Structure 1
Amino acid sequence: MTAVALTVAGSDPSGGAGIQADLKTFSALGVYGTAVLTALTAQNTRGVTGVHAVPAAFVGEQLRTLLDDVGVGATKLGMLGTADVVREVAAVLAQRRPGPVVCDPVMVATSGDRLVGADAVDAIRADLLPLTDLITPNVPEAAALLDGPAATSVEEMVEQARALLELGPAAVLLKGGHLGGPDSVDVLASGGDVVVTRRPRVATTATHGTGCTLSSAIAALVARGVGGPGAWEPVVESARDYLQEALEAGRFLGIGSGHGPVHHFARWWPAG
């Protein structure tokens, strides 16, 4: 049977993040991708100039109509945009479980542009996290969800990952790319277990959509039956392998003049 994954996220016209990155990742990892659109953005590799939210009721209609017909093995949540959309998505997830739910709480673009308001952050915290199997925030997003300062060390990341677990998700993957240094450090917390992993940092400006790509890779692999609830470490490591390769190849794509995209299909065709 064909593995199917769903992304619920916004659109990125430059193709490096959002729905476009998610569907590329699903395809690269051998999964049939489905998508529910939450917002249109006007953006390129240099920044975001506008966000147009899809009405919450229509986001819900997209979800319910899709799930009435298509069996989904795993779901990735990305940029939801508004508090109303967050609550609508949470309401659908409370009624139906389209596989394990991986939530990438997109709040700030790679360019630094803010993508959601404070009320949406509150809704993610209160309504969505208790329904999430794995949440994948970066350091600034974790700080926003915890309403506190950003972590500045691995030790603080471990503390914040544990604090995020108390908000309701079954597992937390806190990404430490913002800390700097020669290694990129991630913290995976699930129940009483905490695993800290380090990988060499890739020297590149082609980082647009890295968070979208990692979370959608996790969802794709779960849809294929790799890891998942209760066994996140193998699927997270496999997803990081894919992202590492896409990051290393992204520098050769030459897309745009700002933070370019990773190369989602590096295994199939060369960049440049």
Structure 2
Amino acid sequence: MADALDRLSATARSSIDEINANLSVYTGFRDLFVARAGELYAYGTIGGELRGKLDETLKLKIFDPVPMYRGLYVQLISLFERSVASAIIAHVQRIDKTSTRFSDLPEPFRNQYIRSSGGLLGYYGQGSVDGVSFDFDNLLGGLSASFGDGEKKRLVGEVFTTRLGNVTPDRLIRLFEALSLPEPFSDAFGKLAPIQSWTGTRKAREAANESRKRLSAGIERRNQIVHGAIGEAVIEVSDVEQTGEMVFALLEGLILLIRENEFW
């Protein structure tokens, strides 16, 4: 389990670093070749092909970087949501590997698993869930093996994540509760080192409240962008950088909560 979560954390960190690197390259390019073009021309040694390329580069003065920032912002929030889903699936897979029979699992988990599976099977005739491809045969096979209560039980983690939608604080809380995991945005969550370091406070309640507030704002702004309310979603370089910090801190905190719950 730890290995799967370690890989997930490393992948998220790599993706965020790549986005930050792209930002650095772009801002460095504009600072050097666009904002300081007059100084380059003043050297007098620029001519021929090089001068022509600089002339072409200066046309980028009219390029508004905000749409690019918005795209990176949306990418970061989507990364967070995919990472949360992957962490939950990894947790369910661990439950599957470390338990024998379906009846051995805690009753709250069993009940929630059945309810979530039933909700997905309601889409069986459509071949997908809200337009998203889903392997119904895999779920049906897993349910058959699990309900037989033999030693070939098979759990499908996607039953908890396929219809998750926007990973808002309230949905995160409900999701973790369904899996009998510690509550996100509780005082215990606010005591975690990644959360306190990111929010800048060592007061557990303040750190938890601030993390919840920032995630809500991030999800709302992402939704404004993707639904076309771009006038309300002005994005700067700092917004992208801070969102990357948020994504990684929250993901690290949630992974710690999952690791605390290894009683299966």
**Fold conserved (TM > 0.5)?**
no
Q: Highest relative contact order (Cα 8 Å, sep 6+), 1 or 2?
A: 2
Q: Which has the higher helix share?
A: 2
Q: TM-score, normalising length from structure 2? A: 0.23
